[in-house]
Amino acid sequence: MAAGILVFAEHHQGKPTRAAWEALAAGQRLAADLGLSLTAIALGVELSPLMAELARAKLDEVIALESPALEVYTPEGFTSAVFQLIEARQPRLIIFSHTYQARDFAPRLAARCGRALISDCLSYRREDERLILIRPVFQGKFCAETEFMGEPPYFVSFQAGSFREDSVEAGAAPARVTCQAVTLAAGTIRTRPGEVFREAKQAVDLSQAKAIVAVGRGIKGPENLELARKLAEALGAELGASRPICDNGWLSMDRQIGSSGQTVAPNLYLALGISGAIQHLVGMKGSRTVVAINKDKEAPIFEVATYGIVGDLFEIVPPLIEEIIKAKSG
């Protein structure tokens, strides 16, 4: 098969993550635009159910790289395994979502190939034979058009929310599934990862939330969080916050959204009293529908909002809770 695109599909205990589908959505678009074949790869053990799920998408092939040594993620193990596949298949483009896992090993993999990774991209553009990647610089104050130099393979990672998981096209027929046993040289994996854990007992994974109510400085004090909680409850949403709220200890750090917290892309993001510093915006701008309620009409949060309400959140939220309950039951 002609050299094409490889998409790295991240999974959590055999279930594709949102990042996997977003990377696949990016891969489908690029494969169509560049006229290249599309292959998804996943690493681990007992990947058959995952392969079957990925194979339903419109792509040419899904490859499982299986080894007991890949059951738990390590940068050395994943770098070596994918490097072997790249040598065998000679793809032109390798696509990742810009997750913590990809950040951990994709630069190493690209360097092992002697090539570049253009990381954290927002979108791309094709101009004749040129592939132009658009990525944020200076923490989102500017965007940079970036291009590869030299020969492929090229490595790209896309920021969460740059492509939507629900835009993945289903295939007419299941894609070909290849299971490949991987042998890693003895001594490849030298680090010893322990169990993953959370600090707080009631920690939440906001990255998987479908709806989020987020509070910022405008909430004024911890005593007012109950209002936001009630709104979240009415919407079936998780509660999140901008950094100052968590720094003050009003909410636990695991509810922080932004560059130093979680990156989220829910269907609904309702921002209460958040001005929208860039560090916050990079963590939520992939959200589909954004509602912003803020006193200041010039607040940057309105730049990414679908619906904007300029006003006092303490006057607006109580009737809003009632209206949402009404609308849901209606």
Site residues for other proteins, window 161-180 (CB under 8 A)? none
The dihedrals phi and psi of 184, each to the nearest 5 degrees, come to -100, 140
Please report, as residue ranges, which positions from 64 to 103 form the binding site for other proteins (by CB under 8 A).
75-76, 79, 99-100, 103
Tell me the closest approach of the beta carbon of residue 226 to other proteins, in angstroms. Answer: 18
193 burial level (CB within 10 Å; 0-12, 13-18, 19+): exposed
Q: Is 207 a residue that touches other proteins (CB under 8 A)?
A: yes
One of 166, 169, 296, 303 touching other proteins (CB under 8 A): 303
Kindly state the number of chain residues that form the binding site for other proteins, as judged by CB under 8 A: 90
One of 55, 177, 184, 316 touching other proteins (CB under 8 A): 316
The CA angle 124-129-131, to the nearest 5 degrees, is: 20
d(CA 155, CA 170): 25
Q: Are 61 and 41 in contact (CB under 8 A)?
A: no
Q: Is 3 a residue that touches other proteins (CB under 8 A)?
A: no
Q: Of 103, 62, 99, 59, whose CA–CA distance to 79 is shortest?
A: 103
One of 14, 140, 171, 244 touching other proteins (CB under 8 A): 140
Please report, as residue ranges, which positions from 10 to 49 form the binding site for other proteins (by CB under 8 A).
none
Q: Of 106, 323, 167, 37, whose CA–CA distance to 121 is shortest?
A: 106
Q: Is 186 a residue that touches other proteins (CB under 8 A)?
A: no
Q: Is 187 a residue that touches other proteins (CB under 8 A)?
A: no
Please report, as residue ranges, which positions from 281 to 300 form the binding site for other proteins (by CB under 8 A).
288-289, 291-292
Q: Is 192 a residue that touches other proteins (CB under 8 A)?
A: yes
d(CA 318, CA 330): 19
Tell me the closest approach of the beta carbon of residue 177 to other proteins, in angstroms. Answer: 28
d(CA 293, CA 295): 7
One of 148, 165, 175, 216 touching other proteins (CB under 8 A): 148
d(CA 95, CA 311): 43
One of 162, 262, 275, 294 touching other proteins (CB under 8 A): 262
One of 13, 128, 129, 197 touching other proteins (CB under 8 A): 197
Tell me the closest approach of the beta carbon of residue 86 to other proteins, in angstroms. Answer: 14
Q: Which is nearer to other proteins, 52 or 137 (CB)?
A: 137
Instruction: With contacts defined by CB under 8 A, name the span among 27-35, 44-52, 86-94, 134-142 that binds other proteins.
Output: 134-142
Helix (H) or strand (E) holding 304: none
The CA angle 50-257-29, to the nearest 5 degrees, is: 45
